[in-house]
Amino acid sequence: MQIMPESPSTNLEHVFSEAEKIIDSYTNSVEIKKDIQPVAFGLKALIVKFVMDEKKGSTEPLEHQLKSSIKGIESIEVTDVRRAIG
């Protein structure tokens, strides 16, 4: 999931801390990983990786909850979905 902040001055550590709580309550993920990647002109994207039970269905409710609960988020995009087998 790629979380784009509203501005380069948005505290991505704070955004991740808040997002981690929401993602964990929604997915009960064992591990939530983050990466911060430069985009352009000082703007950085927060990349969040986690495991979600596919029985939960779409990520849209989670995306909506993140965007409505955390200040400073411009957009959220699911950039990768993989299926675990085994």
3 neighbors 15 (Cβ within 8 angstroms):
yes
Mean local confidence (pLDDT), 31-39: 95
Can you give the pLDDT at residue 86?
A: 63
In the predicted structure, residue 15 carries a pLDDT above the cut 90: yes
Domain map (residue ranges) of the chain: 13-77
Q: What is the pTM of this model?
A: 0.88
First and final C-alpha spacing in the chain: 23
* pLDDT digit string, tens, across residues 65-84: 999 999 999 999 999 888 77
Residue 56 DSSP class: G
Compute how many other C-beta atoms are within 10 angstroms of the C-beta atom of residue 50.
Answer: 19
